[in-house]
């Protein structure tokens, strides 16, 4: 059970992020301002030290240099091109991994026979940290697109599969019984009780999948690629262009943040009924 996996562990608590900010009392201490001031000050300090020559450009470029580089690379069309390639890989991998994970999870969640056929095998496979098979992926696919998409799909599949099965299994049997007493047909029971009940768990799977997808993308692009923002960073390394490297790191972070925001927004919409989100 304690295999070192990046895929999802079974959530013990109701699988929803607590998105509600704690009620703030009117206080004189501007905690929020302080929490933002600190990173901004660090950034300013970094800028000043870099300009004064206290940090060598080959170690870390000034933030302003990174911005300038970003602008230059955007105007030359180089950055959008690589970014688009990276996003396309991520989207393709996500779409494939998420669809198979969700569909297989639903099938296994509903059918004991399907579970007997697949579940143990998947449980064994998930003991492998999916990034560990990267060398194998490179042998199989070379540095082409397929290998990267495959790795992203693999990283996406496991959390979604596991949390979908778990979510369906955890639906309150008392609610199902109520549905049967009322005489709901099987299909309506699935729509009314089973899928909505599994949804918090499925959405947790989506969030974990997104995290895995980015991890897979970064690793796959950095180790072997001829295009994409990871390739930009690797290429820049040859010429000690730290500004490009930092830019790529920042881009990875930004994309990760945006997807997480989208996922949280989705949870807010779809789980409006959940005790964590309901406005009383």
Partner 1 sequence: MTAAPVAAAAVRAAGISRAYGDRTVLHELDLEIHRGEFVALIGKSGCGKTTLLRALAGIDAVDGGTLRTPDVSTVVFQEHRLLPWWKVWRNVAIGLPRASARARAQSALEEVGLGTHADAWPVTLSGGEAQRVALARALVREPELLLLDEPFAALDALTRIRMHGLVRDLIARHRPAVLLVTHDVDEAILLADRVLTMREGRIAAAHPVDGTARTRGSAAFAALRTELLAELGVVEP
Q: Return residues touching partner 1 (CB under 8 A).
A: 174-175, 177-184, 188, 192-193, 196-197, 199, 271-275, 278, 280
Question: Is residue 169 within 8 Å of 159, Cβ to Cβ?
Answer: no
The nearest distance, CB 201 to partner 1, in angstroms, is 13
Q: How many CB atoms lie within 10 A of CB 40?
A: 9
Q: How many CB atoms lie within 10 A of CB 230?
A: 25
The DSSP code sequence of 116-184 is HHHHHHHHHHTTS-GGGGHHHHHHHHTTSHHHHHHHHHHHHHHHHHHHHHHHHHTS-HHHHHHHHHHT-
| Secondary structure (3-state) at 241 | coil
CA distance 3 to 1: 6
Nearer to partner 1, 25 or 269 (CB): 269
The nearest distance, CB 195 to partner 1, in angstroms, is 9
Nearer to partner 1, 16 or 62 (CB): 16
Nearer to partner 1, 141 or 277 (CB): 277
| Secondary structure (3-state) at 22 | coil
The nearest distance, CB 205 to partner 1, in angstroms, is 17
**Residue of 131, 83, 112 whose CA lies nearest to 255:** 83
Nearer to partner 1, 80 or 275 (CB): 275
The nearest distance, CB 225 to partner 1, in angstroms, is 43
**Residue of 175, 228, 176, 171 whose CA lies nearest to 199:** 171
Nearer to partner 1, 39 or 183 (CB): 183
CA distance 251 to 233: 11
The nearest distance, CB 169 to partner 1, in angstroms, is 17
Instruction: State both tokens at 269.
Output: 């919409």
The nearest distance, CB 20 to partner 1, in angstroms, is 13
Nearer to partner 1, 221 or 267 (CB): 267
């Amino acid at each position: 059970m304690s295999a070192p996996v990046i895929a999802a562990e079974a959530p013990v608590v109701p699988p929803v992020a607590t998105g509600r900010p704690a009620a703030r009392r009117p206080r004189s201490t501007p905690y929020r301002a302080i929490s933002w001031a600190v990173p901004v000050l660090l950034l300013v300090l970094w800028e000043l030290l870099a300009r004064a020559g206290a940090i060598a450009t080959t170690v870390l470029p000034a933030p302003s240099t990174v911005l300038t580089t970003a602008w230059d690379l955007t105007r030359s069309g180089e950055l959008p091109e690589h970014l688009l390639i990276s996003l396309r890989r991520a989207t393709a991998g996500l779409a494939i991994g998420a669809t198979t994970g969700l569909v297989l999870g639903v099938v296994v969640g509903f059918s004991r026979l399907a579970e007997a056929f697949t579940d143990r095998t998947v449980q064994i496979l998930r003991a492998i940290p999916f990034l560990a098979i990267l060398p194998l992926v490179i042998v199989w696919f070379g540095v082409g697109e397929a290998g990267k998409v495959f790795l992203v799909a693999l990283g996406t599949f496991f959390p979604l599969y596991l949390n979908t099965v778990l979510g369906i299994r955890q639906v309150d049997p008392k609610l199902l019984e109520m549905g049967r007493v009322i005489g709901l047909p099987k299909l309506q029971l699935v729509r009314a009780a089973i899928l909505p009940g599994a949804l918090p768990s499925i959405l947790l799977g989506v969030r974990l999948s997104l995290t895995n997808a980015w991890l897979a993308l970064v690793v796959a692009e950095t180790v072997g690629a001829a295009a994409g923002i990871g390739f930009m960073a690797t290429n820049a390394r040859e010429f000690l262009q730290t500004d490009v490297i930092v830019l790529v790191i920042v881009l990875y972070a930004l994309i990760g943040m945006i997807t997480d925001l989208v996922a949280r927004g989705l949870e807010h919409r779809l789980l409006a009924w959940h005790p964590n989100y309901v406005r009383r």
